[in-house]
Amino acid sequence: MTTEDHGPHDPAFVEAPFLAQGEIARPTAPVFHGAFRWLVLAQGFSAFAFFAYFGTMFAEATYRFDASTSDLAVLGAALSIPFILGSLLQGLVVDRWSPKWMALIGYLLQLAAVPVALTATSLNGLWASAFLVGGAFATIEPARSALTSLLVPERDLVRANGTLATAFQLSLVMGTLAGGWLLHVWDARAVYLVSCAVALLPPLCMLLVPDTRQRGEAPSLSVGDLRRGAATAWRHPELRVLAIVTVTGWFMVNVFFVLEPLFVKDVLGRGGDNLLYLWSAHGAGALAGAIALTRATRTSGREAVLTCAGVTLIGLGIFVYTSVGIYAIALAASALSGVGFGLLFPPLLALIQRVIPEDQRGRVTSVFVSLQESAGLASSLLLLVLGGLVVVQPTLVVAGATLVVIGLAGLRAVRRISREAARDRTPG
């Protein structure tokens, strides 16, 4: 266990930085009970509303307003900018205030974003809606992570985050299927109205969650606290590897996210509802990955391996999706990349929650979220600058292949760290 003193504002890690893989493998109780189940339900309803609404918004931008590569890059950046800045601030606030009320405020902000898209008459309205929803998730993400670690025993954190991911991915499947069907049968207005109705439910769920707060020192609102949170994460070798892998990986993921509507329109030759069906296939794969995590019992000590494996699968799915250019194969490849997403974030959050002191978890989570989204913003800005010079299919094929390389390099680094830690624990 790490015992060296890093100063009054830098507590040691709360658990042994490394556990033998599968060391904590005893049977555990179901995690979907008590106050935590309301957090799960809020996550599910929020994701359903988001994916029906946001997928439709991208489809409208592409098919109704004839958005170019630069226009779609602005749409991505409009979400990323408030997400980045808000996550940094909220990561501090959640460590010194109430994660319950922060999450509720975020869900109300998400609800407010949908009518803006509903009444949009140009791309400007869609950009404004994306900006609001970016701020909403900047508020929700650190709060939900902090609440999870306060409501669930440490040994169940991977399963708890897997349960949240299951709710998220199930809602991705249902939300995009419902959105695609409504968009095909009626129009975008019907999708927005249904999304608005569902978005009313998460704030109600949060009212049933107890106002549980961290018990450590409440940090002041200063840039220094964020810097110390980043330093705490960087000193932990596995978190340092995951920071590099997920941040560089997210650059490529965002390239795919921004260009996918154009790929579906120009390469696959399909309509806007098919974009939502592809998102649904992605969600089905992610749901399978998340369910696998909730049923696993030997995950403590393997969080970093699972995260890097997730990045590798995402890249493989994107590579097959974009290199073949056939709709049926794209559906299967989208599901494969979804499995990777199902394995990506729950173990990463669980590792943060396990090794970072309780009074720093919010800010460390916000640092990870902000760094990842900053990489996404950088890719959006690059696409905005390049504009018409970007050739969609080759760019996406390279992005997928690069993700595979990043994931495999991360796996190699994590295994090396694990071997070194095992040697350090061996007597003599």
pLDDT at 259 over 90: yes
Q: Distance (Å, rounded) from C-alpha 31 to C-alpha 157?
A: 9
The sign of the torsion formed by the CA atoms of 388, 389, 390, 393 equals: positive
Q: What is the CATH number of the domain that holds 164?
A: 1.20.1250.20
CA 330 to chain centroid: 22
Per DSSP, 64 falls in state I
pLDDT band at 27 (very low <50, low <70, confident <90, very high): very low
Q: Distance (Å, rounded) from C-alpha 147 to C-alpha 42?
A: 13
Q: Distance (Å, rounded) from C-alpha 59 to C-alpha 106?
A: 25
Quick check: is 118 in a domain? yes
The pTM (predicted TM-score) of the whole model is: 0.75
| Residues 289/342, Cβ–Cβ less than 8 Å | yes
Per DSSP, 346 falls in state H
Q: Distance (Å, rounded) from C-alpha 262 to C-alpha 167?
A: 29
Quick check: is 231 in a domain? yes
CB within 8 Å of 383: residues ≥ 6 apart: 69, 70, 72, 73, 76, 255, 258, 259, 390
328, exposed or middle or buried, with CB in 10 Å at 0-12, 13-18, 19+?
exposed
Q: What separation in angstroms does the CA of 18 have from each of 10, 24, 247, 293, 378? A: 19, 12, 22, 20, 33
Quick check: is 70 in a domain? yes
The range of the structural domain enclosing residue 73 comes to 36-205+221-425
119, exposed or middle or buried, with CB in 10 Å at 0-12, 13-18, 19+?
exposed
How many percent of the chain have pLDDT more than 70? Answer: 85
pLDDT at 26 over 90: no
Quick check: is 336 in a domain? yes
Please report the pLDDT score of residue 366 as a whole number.
Answer: 73
Please give the residue that has the higher pLDDT: either 302 or 260: 260
| Residues 162/136, Cβ–Cβ less than 8 Å | no
pLDDT at 60 over 60: yes
| Residues 173/287, Cβ–Cβ less than 8 Å | yes
Per-residue pLDDT tens for 150-168?
888 777 777 787 788 788 8
Per-residue pLDDT tens for 10-23?
444 544 443 433 34
Q: Distance (Å, rounded) from C-alpha 100 to C-alpha 93?
A: 12
- Output the DSSP codes for 235-276: HSHHHHHHHHHHHHHHHHHHHHHHHHHHIIIIIS---HHHHH
| Residues 2/12, Cβ–Cβ less than 8 Å | yes
Q: Distance (Å, rounded) from C-alpha 87 to C-alpha 135?
A: 8
CB within 8 Å of 87: residues ≥ 6 apart: 138, 141, 142, 366, 369, 370, 373
Q: What separation in angstroms does the CA of 374 have from each of 2, 3, 43, 244, 351? A: 31, 33, 23, 13, 21
Quick check: is 396 in a domain? yes
Quick check: is 55 in a domain? yes
Structure tokens at 10: 């830098």
Please report the pLDDT score of residue 423 as a whole number.
Answer: 75
Please report the pLDDT score of residue 251 as a whole number.
Answer: 95
Quick check: is 16 in a domain? no
Q: Distance (Å, rounded) from C-alpha 390 to C-alpha 371?
A: 25
Q: Distance (Å, rounded) from C-alpha 375 to C-alpha 333?
A: 24
pLDDT band at 324 (very low <50, low <70, confident <90, very high): very high
Reported in sequence order, the residue ranges of 351-396 that DSSP labels E, i.e. its strands, are none
Per DSSP, 217 falls in state P
Measuring CA to CA, which residue among 14, 214, 208 is closest to residue 94? 214
Q: How many domains does the chain have?
A: 1
Quick check: is 295 in a domain? yes
End-to-end CA separation in angstroms for the chain: 17
pLDDT band at 422 (very low <50, low <70, confident <90, very high): confident
The sign of the torsion formed by the CA atoms of 235, 236, 239, 240 equals: positive
| Residues 160/146, Cβ–Cβ less than 8 Å | no
